[in-house]
Amino acid sequence: MTKVGLFFGSTTGNTKTAAEMIQAELGGDNVVTVCNIADASESDFSEYECLIIATSTWDTGELQADWDGFFEDLDGIDFSGKKVAYFGVGDQIGYSDNFQDAMGTLEEKISSLGATTVGHWPTEGYEHEASKAEKNGKFVGLALDEDNQSEMTESRIKVWSTLIKTEFGI
Ligand SMILES: Cc1cc2nc3c(=O)[nH]c(=O)nc-3n(C[C@H](O)[C@H](O)[C@H](O)COP(=O)(O)O)c2cc1C
């Protein structure tokens, strides 16, 4: 059993690709187990002390479809004592008023169920107008944008992975 479980939802594959890059940065499949939320059940979460929750945003501020289907199941999971990091993939130009909203929706829900959020990320370098994923002037997790800033994805992932390695103690 690995220490970190990464649960992602991805419609066209961008979040999945980023999940695999982050898994590799954190030390590969001996350290991080990657699970598609479309195939996950509530009990899968109990195995991990540290979690990474990953989603894209769709339909103007909504959860990615597989996360939408799982959202009510989150209530049945005991998140107390768990450290949870988030990353999202969105489009800051096309959906400027709802950039990364799904990441914010999941963080709000999961932290209300007892989890501690780690891995906050600065908002500098983005051009969005509004985001549910912004709290106290920072994103609640890593914000990626394959539509407008794909050239920054690799370096952002490297910096964020170093940060959460420390937070997770791995
Ligand atoms: C119809 C549609 C609606 C979208 N709505 C949003 C949105 O509200 N906020 C946002 O940040 N990105 C939005 N996006 C951008 C996607 O999140 C982005 O393309 C992402 O890379 C998709 O990742 P995935 O392939 O992992 O699902 C939308 C894209 C489409 C096509």
Could you give the CA distance from residue 98 to residue 94 in angstroms, rounded to a whole number?
Answer: 9
Name the residue ranges covered by the structural domains of the chain: 4-168
Shortest-distance Cα residue to atom 9 of ligand 1: 99
* Ligand 1 atom with least separation from CA of 59: 3
What is the 60 CA–ligand 1 centroid distance (Å)?
Answer: 8
Residues with CB under 6 A from ligand 1: 10-15, 56-61, 64, 89-91, 95, 98-101, 146-147
Question: Percent helix, strand, coil in the chain (nearest 5)?
Answer: 40, 25, 35
Would you state the pLDDT for residue 1?
65
Would you state the pLDDT for residue 2?
74
What is the 93 CA–ligand 1 centroid distance (Å)?
Answer: 11
What is the 77 CA–ligand 1 centroid distance (Å)?
Answer: 27
Nearest to 61 by CA among 12, 88, 100, 94: 100
CB-CB neighbours of 105 under 10 Å:
21
* Ligand 1 atom with least separation from CA of 144: 21
Residue 13 burial class via C-beta count within 10 angstroms: exposed 0-12, middle 13-18, buried 19 and up: exposed
Would you state the pLDDT for residue 162?
98
What is the 2 CA–ligand 1 centroid distance (Å)?
Answer: 30
Residue length of the chain: 170
Mutate to test the pocket of ligand 1, among 14, 36, 56 (most ligand atoms within 8 A of CB): 56
CATH architecture of 4-168: 3-Layer(aba) Sandwich (3.40)
Q: What is the pLDDT along the chain (170 residues), one digit of tens a residue?
A: 679 999 999 999 999 999 999 999 999 999 999 999 999 999 999 999 999 999 999 999 999 999 999 999 999 999 999 999 999 999 999 999 999 999 999 999 999 999 999 999 999 999 999 999 999 999 999 999 999 999 999 999 999 999 999 999 99
What is the 57 CA–ligand 1 centroid distance (Å)?
Answer: 5
